[in-house]
Structures are given as structure tokens and as C-alpha cells.
Structure 1
Amino acid sequence: MRKYILMAACAVACLTHQAVAAPQSDSFLQHAVDAPTRTDKFKARDAARHPVQELAFFGVRPRSTVVEIWPGGGYWTQILAPALYAHGTYYAAFGGPDGDKDEAHFAMSPAFRQMLDQHPEIYGRVKPTVFGAHHPELAPPGSADFVLTFRNLHNWMAAGDAPKLLAAIHRALKPGGVLGIEEHRGNTRTPQDPQAESGYVRQDYATALIEKAGFKLVGSSEVDANPRDTADWPKGVWTLPPVLAMGQVDRAKYQAIGEADNFVLKFRKIGG
């Protein structure tokens, strides 16, 4: 009897240890999120974007090779670059300035370059690259553990480039590598606009599109869900914060709704 009591006690102790230790495994992400060098306007969005939880869901680790597509102003760069600085690799894949309207919009800006140059101790190992319909090689083939894209799928759909760009992502990933997608969730009661002019994409539509490109859905997260977003606003998703495209019209209403309802999906590359 004493033997079984000791075994049970050990099992409880082990479980307790795991429960305590698990959050610490993502401490490198929390440390990056808490860095004083992050921009205040980005920090203000953490409550809506949940960066630690989302990157942990994708499975990013300190030694990962991560490609972020179209970093924009650098919200995720300010987290991923320091998190991966010591042991990992971070590619920032910007839009090509010679691409279509959306792609060119996401070319590296002078402000982004200035950010990199001002803090080489954090951003000195960032690997800038170019990605788009005319620049499909976002990283060396088979080199990336993760390719992450945040709220960009609707842009690719608008340009008609989604299949081509997803194929390029597939090439860049290692066998079994992860494609992480965050996107504004469209209403399942309405047909999907193939060009996603409202900025919203149905989750089932996105899943089918991505799996057709050689990926398998392996997980989904509701970390960025917002049930107040009905996905039917006058100026599409840009009606809501942070853009607030209606200006002062019903501004308080849209601020109260908050940022869009977003799905977060994790896909694994199938094949070599």
C-alpha cells in the first residue's frame, strides 16, 4: 500500500511541477513583450492582439527560424526580433515596391529602417527580405520553421495572388514547418467575396484555400475572438480600430466594439 501511496504522491508532484513550469517556457516571449524599447502605441494594442498567447500557440521557440510576412509598422517585429536575437533567426519579408498596390504598400518604410538602425542591439540580426507576386522567394527553400502572417490574407485575395503566395510559403518552410495565420473573420451567413473587399475572410474559406496549397490545419485558437464584431460595417473592417475609417462618425461606438474578430489558425506543411 505504501508503494502505491508514494507513486500517487510522485504523480501529483510531477503534475504540479509541469503546471508551474509550463508558463515559464514562454518567458522569452513575455520578456520581449515587456521590453522598454517597444512603441507605446503597439503596447496599447496588446490587450486585443495577445502576442504571447498567439506566438506560443503557433509554437515559436527561442531557436526557431521565423519569417514574418509584411511586417507593416513593426508590431510583431518589436517582439520577434528580440525574442529570437540570441539563438533564432528572424526574416522580415516586406512587400516589393514594384508590386501591386497592396504589396507596394507593405514595402519597408523609412520609419521602419530607422527603427532597425536605432537599436542594433535588438534589431541588428533582422534579415530583411522581399516577398510578393514578383518576389516569391521570401527565404531560402526549406529553411523556415515558421512563416507567420497577420491580417494579410485578404490583401492577397484582393490582388488575386493568394495561391501563388501560398505556394511560395510552402517552398520556404521545412518539411513539417508551420504556417500561422491571423485574419479578420467573415460572417458564415454570407457568401465569401473572392476579393475580400471588406477585409473579412470566412474561416472555412481560408482553411480550404490554404489546405489546397499543400497544408494541413492542425489547430485553431480563439485568443483574438471579438463577438461584438458583426463583420458588416460601412467601410469594412477598417471601420473599427485601429483605423476608424469613419472618422468622427459613431467613433465612440466603434471604439467600444474594439478591434476586429480574428481567427488564428495553425497549418503544417505536407510533403517536402
Structure 2
Amino acid sequence: MKFRFDAAAAVVAVLAGCTACASEPRAGAPATTTTGTTATATPAASETKIRGALTGTVRTDKERARDDARHPAETLSFFGLREDASVLELWPGGGYYTSILAPVVAERGKLTITNFDPNGDPKAYQTKGTIELFARLDKNPEVFGKVARQQIATPNVNFGQAASYDFVFTFRNIHNWIEDGFADKVFAEAFRVLKPGGVLGIEEHRGKPGMTVEAMNKTGYVPEDYVRQLAERAGFRFAARSEINANPKDTTDHPNGVWSLPPSFAGKDVDREKFVAIGESDRMTLRFTKP
């Protein structure tokens, strides 16, 4: 398993019941594509909190440099994040989104992150990544002091108490779950711990329709309809999709998969200027709800 750790006006999220959205075109699409009949917006006060968190002192220069490609404020607004919400962030990597989510919900809500065992195999990248993340959180207790930690020992997955979260978020993780064979378990567990009406927010590298699982594992890209199948099989209802994180320059056929692109640059200096010009991956941004 190979985990890679890796603004425009606010977007109004939309909602339930569309079954045809996965076939909508990517290239040339507007910044946001949504479907449904009922709109759910992030409250203005929470929106202010989200945008304020982007200027937080705990954020690194590297993270700020990624904002133009990752559109964190627009993405979280699309998901409908509220400052009074209970939020679960799945496998936060180095903490890019954790550094934004934590201050937003610190006063009125709650943030929990999943993590691997920091006392595991010291040579394993999962252990190293967890230790590095925990060191960052512990160094900044004024921002991260209230962040709860939920240890996961895969392939067993347990996110805690049933119906305890308003939101479950995952950013660029699903290809890892597929590769390790426990994607269905993660989606089922996310469904279990969300409250009725709760939201599953997904951002993932978007592959071409019809990709095999082998191709997904090799490249890190996942077809949008495959992600929808995973979510709907767990019981989720598709609510909306957005093109906030679309990148039509990304052909998805790179020699080192998605890791050819920034910020990974797996090929190092080989064709580096080419990949810089492409930018970060083309990514789906999807919202699901628990009925």
C-alpha cells in the first residue's frame, strides 16, 4: 500500500437525487457544476471562519503555495462546513486540511482525525507520517489542542461512535484504500458514524471512465463513477458534484501516474517544467448525504 502524503466567490452546495452527473464533461466546465432541487449553503459566519483560517500562522509556506490549485475555501463551502459541526477527517497526511479545519470548529464544533499507530514499525512510512503529523499538532496546541485522534489498524476500520459526526471528509485518499482492498469498509464505516442528514465530502484524483483496478493502483487516478458506486453501495445518496478542483490540462497518462505532477514530482527533474505547467491533478469534488 502506498500512501502519498502529499479565490473566487464561495460556492453554494446543492443536493439530492441526481443520477446522471458523473457523465458531465470535465474540460471547459464551469468552476462549479451542481445538480438537485434543494440548496444548502455554508452559513456566512462559518464562511468567514474558513477564509480566516487560510491566513493562520500554523499553515506552512508550502501549504499556502498549494491553495490556488486546491481551492480549500471553495471546497469546504461546497461541502457545507459549519463552525458548530462535528467533523471527521480521514487520513490527513501532513495536515494541509487539518490546519484549516481545526481553527474553524475549535470554539463551537469538534475535529477528529484518523491516524496510524505512531508506535508501529519505525521504518514504515505510515508510522513516520503519523509521528510527523503528531509533532506538528503538539507543537501548536493553541490551534490543534482540541483535535481528537482516532487510531486505525487497517484492514480493520473503526471510526468511533455511531451517528456522531455531521461531516466526514477525505482528500485524495480513495486510491490508497482501493489499492489496499478496504475501500468498501471505509465507506461503510463513514456511513455508520455520520448522523442522518450528515455529509460525506470527497476530493479525489479523477481518472478516465472504464479504468481497471490495476490501472487505478498503478496511477493513483480513480474514475468518478467508481467512487460513486463505492459511496452508494455503502448507503450514501449522491447530492452534488463540483468542478472547483478540475484541471483539463491533466491528461492522466503520466509515466509515474499522478505522482508525476506537483507537489510530488516523482520523476524529479525529468520533464519537470512540463509537469509544472500542467499543475496539480484533475480532481473530482463530490458531496454525498446519509439519508
The separation in 1 between residues aligned to 2:283 and 2:242, in whole angstroms, is 9
Q: Which amino acid in 2 is paired with 1:34?
A: T
Q: In the alignment, which of 136, 144, 149 is matched to residue 157 of structure 2?
A: 136
TM-score (norm 2): 0.79
Deviates more, 1:136-145 or 1:121-130: 136-145
Cα 1:114–1:98 change in 2 (3 A) is closer
- C-alpha displacement at 1:192, in angstroms? 3.3
**Counterpart in 2 of 1:215?**
236
Q: In the alignment, which of 223, 228, 243 is matched to residue 249 of structure 2?
A: 228
Q: Which amino acid in 2 is paired with 1:59?
A: G
Question: Aligned-residue CA RMSD in angstroms?
Answer: 2.2
**Matched-pair contact (CA < 8 Å) for 2:69–2:280:** yes
Larger helix fraction of residues: 1
**Counterpart in 1 of 2:200?**
179
The separation in 1 between residues aligned to 2:112 and 2:137, in whole angstroms, is 13
The separation in 2 between residues aligned to 1:98 and 1:123, in whole angstroms, is 21
**Counterpart in 1 of 2:271?**
250
The separation in 2 between residues aligned to 1:267 and 1:194, in whole angstroms, is 26
Q: In the alignment, which of 55, 59, 65 is matched to residue 38 of structure 1?
A: 59
The separation in 2 between residues aligned to 1:267 and 1:99, in whole angstroms, is 33
- C-alpha displacement at 1:208, in angstroms? 1.4
**Counterpart in 1 of 2:191?**
170
Cα 1:245–1:104 change in 2 (3 A) is closer
Deviates more, 1:70-79 or 1:107-116: 107-116
The separation in 2 between residues aligned to 1:113 and 1:72, in whole angstroms, is 11
Q: Which amino acid in 2 is paired with 1:94?
A: N
Structure 1: which 5+ residue stretches go unaligned? 1-20
The separation in 1 between residues aligned to 2:76 and 2:240, in whole angstroms, is 13
Alignment of 1:35-74 (within 5 A): 35-74=56-95
Q: Which amino acid in 1 is paired with 2:230?
A: L
**Counterpart in 2 of 1:196?**
216
Q: In the alignment, which of 79, 84, 90 is matched to residue 105 of structure 2?
A: 84
The separation in 1 between residues aligned to 2:238 and 2:117, in whole angstroms, is 29
Q: Secondary structure at the match of 1:92?
A: strand
- C-alpha displacement at 1:117, in angstroms? 1.7
The separation in 1 between residues aligned to 2:290 and 2:127, in whole angstroms, is 25
Cα 1:174–1:108 change in 2 (3 A) is farther
- Cα deviation digits, residues 4-30 of structure 1 (max 9, x gap): xxxxxxxxxxxxxxxxx9766501000
The separation in 1 between residues aligned to 2:143 and 2:119, in whole angstroms, is 29
- Cα deviation digits, residues 152-200 of structure 1 (max 9, x gap): 1111110111111111111111112111111000012x43326722100
Deviates more, 1:225-234 or 1:103-112: 103-112
- C-alpha displacement at 1:95, in angstroms? 3.1
- Cα deviation digits, residues 129-153 of structure 1 (max 9, x gap): 1235344221321100001000111
Larger Rg: 1
- Cα deviation digits, residues 43-90 of structure 1 (max 9, x gap): 100000000000011011000000000011010111011111111100
**Matched-pair contact (CA < 8 Å) for 2:120–2:127:** no
**Counterpart in 2 of 1:28?**
49
- C-alpha displacement at 1:264, in angstroms? 0.4
The separation in 2 between residues aligned to 1:151 and 1:87, in whole angstroms, is 27
- C-alpha displacement at 1:210, in angstroms? 1.2
**Counterpart in 1 of 2:96?**
75
- Cα deviation digits, residues 187-246 of structure 1 (max 9, x gap): 12x433267221000001111121011101101111000000011111111011110111
Q: In the alignment, which of 242, 267, 270 is matched to residue 288 of structure 2?
A: 267
**Matched-pair contact (CA < 8 Å) for 1:144–1:177:** yes
